[in-house]
Amino acid sequence: MARNKYDVDEDLEIEFSWEYTKRLLAYVKPYKKEMIITLIIMIIASIASLLSPYLVKIAMDTSIPNKDIKGLIGVCALILLTIVIGAACMVYKIKTMTYVGQSVIKNIRTDIFNHLQRLPFSYYDDKPHGKILVRVVNYVNSLSDLLSNGLINLVTDLLSIFVIIGFMLAINVKLTIVCMLGLPFLILVVGLLKKVQRRTTQIFSNKQSNLNAYIQESISGMKVTQAFTREKTNAEKFRKVSDENRSTWMTAVRYQMLLWPAIDNISVITISFVYLIGVSSIGNGITIGTLIAFVGYIWRFWNPIVNISNFYNTLIMAMAYLERIFETLDEPVDIDNLPGAYKMPNINGHVEFKDIVFKYDDDGREILKKVSFEVKPGENIALVGPTGAGKTTIINLLSRFYDVYSGEVLVDGNNVRNVTLDSLRKQMGVMLQDTFIFSGTIMDNIRYGKLDATDEEIIRAAKAVKAHDFIVTLKDGYYTEVNERGSRLSVGQRQLISFARALLADPKILILDEATSSIDTKTEEALQIGLDRLLKGRTSFVIAHRLSTIKNATRIMVINNGQIVEQGNHDELMELKGEYYELYSSQYDMIKAI
């Protein structure tokens, strides 16, 4: 299914299972001490509140008829005490369970974030980032009420129901049986609504995900939107996805709300029968105090049932989100340390590709077709060719951002699949085509390549790539705050900072994907001097469309249609007068014409 669109609903690929509840409870388990204490306190509060109707019965049937003022004052004092106990217990419950609920949410969100960092590039290729973000933030937040109040309230309400039934049986068995006659009808209603409630909630979660994806996409592309005056068109698209979000929410709520009037009607009918039978039986084994006490209990009987129905609605909503959360947590980490993976020794930079075949899907087209080559330590390899030929795929396989379909990628004789990812990537400096600048200072952005680097090392790396000259002209120099993605910097400045970041780690293998594509000619000339010095002694792979930047490469490989069609140094390929000659000549003629 094409999932990489904001207007395509995501089908849930796993069936509902109560295992999700068990997994959720595993997050709650570390806080079982707080849960048990809170539960005991709430049981005490529940019992205290349930004494009130019985105390009213004593007042009505004993204290008032006997004009026992002391006894009446004592009963009133006990009722007041139950209110105070209930309020104190409620304060403790709110404080403790809010802490527990938010702690569980933090732990779930942390697990999702850590898991997302381990997922392969292919996961992000297939899914809009907004649909990922909604799972980490909105869906996890939706569990807040369930975790903060729902679980404790459920247990407390269930216990309350049994205690209330005990009190009612002690008062009058016949009226208790009448009160219980409404429960079968309630169970029938819940059974009928269960499936449709879950489905409508799932549909709403899809539309909420779509809305989030479109908002994220629109914000990321706002400059393009304004440049092409697409505001009205985008506003219409937003209105459509927003209307779908509202419509599905209203449908989900409509089915959720059906449970409340059902309970209300059943309870009112039941209570009416109790009144009818109770009033007609006064003086025949039932006193006025008994009837008032029983009615007090019957209202308390239906109150926890209403609470449980609210919990049920919350659970149905939460389960729809929980399914998405655990679907994300269960997303396979295709690129991971294999069993028995060992730490990559300090590398010299010898690289070998043996009969590499790569494709994104088993039934997809081959991106690389039996590619083989060998690179000796210290060689500077340039990869050139048309867009989509497979150049970036080669360096992605070397860094093991993707796994080969067949064949072997070797570094110093070690298959990259047999070594740990950290030990492999820490010895490589990678500057991808998509330059990313994080929010923070320029110093922090360069230090991202080596977290323990000193300020002097950072400045030295910046000078080497000719980034120092523009950095010192900024208001706060290296401590200038930049926005996410470096929006206040030019594209060329962002590339220079990213280049300094890659070089700071002093890698044995350096990978540059279009590293100089957005740097002006003057800067490029200065940068080339630094590059020649920095590339010396390390194996490097450079992808460049601007062929003038790779004339001094040890070897140039021309990639086309997933194969190496030509290779050699600049002079050799120019003499060959093949594809490289045509590419270089066409660029030269274009520059000359300008």
SS3 assignment, position 440: strand
Share of the chain above pLDDT 70, in %: 90
184-193, 271-280, 383-392, 530-539: segment of lowest average pLDDT = 530-539
**For residues 589 and 225, which has the higher predicted lDDT (pLDDT)?**
225
Mean pLDDT along residues 394-405: 91
From the number of C-beta atoms within 10 Å of its C-beta (0-12, 13-18, 19+), residue 108 rates as buried
Number of Cβ within a 10 Å radius of residue 337: 16
Taking the alpha carbons of 56, 58, 60, 63 in that order, is the dihedral positive or negative?
negative
**What mean pLDDT is predicted for residues 388-399?**
90
φ, ψ of residue 523 to 5 degrees: the values are -65, -40
Residue pointed to by tokens 């049937």: 61
User: By mean pLDDT, which of 9-18, 264-273, 365-374, 428-437 is the weakest?
Assistant: 9-18
CATH 3.40.50.720: does it fit domain 19-329? no
Looking at 311-454, which runs of residues are DSSP E strands? 351-358, 368-375, 380-384, 406-411, 414-415, 428-431, 440-441
When the pLDDT of each residue in the chain is averaged and rounded to a whole number, the result is 82
The confidence score (pLDDT) of residue 353 equals 96
Residue that wins the pLDDT comparison between 590 and 467: 467
β-bridge mates for residue 440, sequence order: 482
What is the predicted pLDDT for the residue at 1? 35
Residue 519 confidence (pLDDT): 61
Instruction: Provide the pLDDT confidence category of residue 459 given band limits of 50, 70 and 90.
Output: very high
Query: What pLDDT, on the 0 to 100 scale, is given for residue 557?
Result: 94
User: Which tens digit of pLDDT belongs to each residue from 470-490?
Assistant: 899 988 899 988 876 666 787
From 63-67, 87-91, 409-413, 475-479, the region with the lowest mean pLDDT: 63-67
pLDDT value for 523: 61
Predicted pLDDT of residue 2: 39
The architecture (CATH level 2) of 351-593 comes to 3-Layer(aba) Sandwich (3.40)
Task: Reply yes or no on whether the pLDDT at 568 is more than 90.
Answer: yes
When pLDDT is averaged across residues 543-552 and rounded to a whole number, the result is 78
Q: What are the pLDDT digits (tens) for 354-384?
A: 999 998 877 778 899 999 999 999 999 999 9
pTM score: 0.70
Residue 53 in this model has a pLDDT that exceeds 50: yes
Q: What is the DSSP string of 44-98?
A: HHHHHHHHHHHHHHHIIIIITTTT-HHHHHHHHHHHHHHHHHHHHHHHHHHHHHH
**Helices 173-180/151-171 angle, 10° precision:** 140
> Exposed (0-12), middle (13-18) or buried (19+): which is 285, by Cβ within 10 Å?
exposed
Nearest 10 degrees: Cα torsion 29, 35, 36, 37: 140
Lowest-confidence pick of 208-222, 358-372, 463-477, 514-528: 514-528
Domain ranges of the chain: 19-329, 351-593
Query: Is the predicted pLDDT of residue 502 greater than 70, yes or no?
Result: yes
pLDDT at 32: 87
Query: For the CA atoms of the chain, what is the radius of gyration?
Result: 35
Task: Give the pLDDT mean for 342-365.
Answer: 90
User: Are 307 and 153 in contact, with CB atoms under 8 Å apart?
Assistant: yes
> For residue 71, what are the contacts with CB-CB under 8 A and spacing of at least 6?
58, 59, 62, 63
Average pLDDT on 289-307 reads 77
Question: How does residue 5 score in pLDDT terms, banded at 50, 70 and 90?
Answer: low
Per-residue model confidence as pLDDT tens digits over 230-264:
888 888 888 998 898 899 989 888 887 777 777 77
Band (pLDDT 50/70/90 cuts) for residue 563 is very high
The 10s digit of each residue's pLDDT in 163-186 is 888 878 887 888 888 888 888 887
Quickly state the pLDDT bin for 114 (edges 50, 70, 90): very high
- 572 pLDDT above the threshold of 80: yes
Mean pLDDT of all residues in 119-147:
80
